[in-house]
């Protein structure tokens, strides 16, 4: 999480003084999943696939539902 926190701070997506944690990740991810332009994402991905039928399942709801599947591994602390 340290690398992610540093990158989020660099980009301005995390400006809190406290350490970035799992709940913070889930919150940011859920907000982004709800707001992503699915059609634009599909347009970006289609050229790289031989069979794009699997993309018919893509939706904001699908990506939002994945948030609880993330698992976090801690290797070091600050």
CB 46 within 8 A of CB 73: no
- The tokens for 12 are 């301005």
pLDDT mean over 41-66:
92
The answer to the question of residue 25 being in a domain is yes
Cβ-Cβ contacts under 8 Å for 68 (sequence gap 6 or more): 26
> Does position 48 have pLDDT exceeding 70, yes or no?
yes
How far, in Å, CA of 1 to CA of 23, rounded?
12
Q: What pLDDT shows up at residue 76? A: 64
Q: What is the mean pLDDT of the chain?
A: 91
The answer to the question of residue 18 being in a domain is yes
- Write out the residue range of the structural domain in which residue 52 sits: 2-69
For residue 20, the surrounding DSSP H or E stretch is none
The answer to the question of residue 23 being in a domain is yes
Q: Per the structure, how many domains does the chain have?
A: 1
The answer to the question of residue 77 being in a domain is no
> Does position 72 have pLDDT exceeding 90, yes or no?
no
The answer to the question of residue 78 being in a domain is no
**Per-residue model confidence as pLDDT tens digits over 5-37:** 999 999 999 999 999 999 999 999 999 999 999
How far, in Å, CA of 28 to CA of 13, rounded?
9
């Amino acid at each position: 999480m340290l690398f992610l926190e540093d990158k989020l701070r660099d980009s301005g997506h995390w400006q809190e003084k406290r350490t970035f944690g799992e709940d913070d990740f889930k919150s940011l991810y859920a907000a982004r999943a709800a707001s992503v332009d699915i059609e634009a994402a599909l347009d970006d991905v289609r050229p790289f696939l031989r069979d794009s039928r699997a993309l018919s399942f893509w939706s904001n709801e699908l990506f939002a539902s994945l948030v609880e599947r993330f698992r976090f591994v801690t290797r070091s602390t600050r």
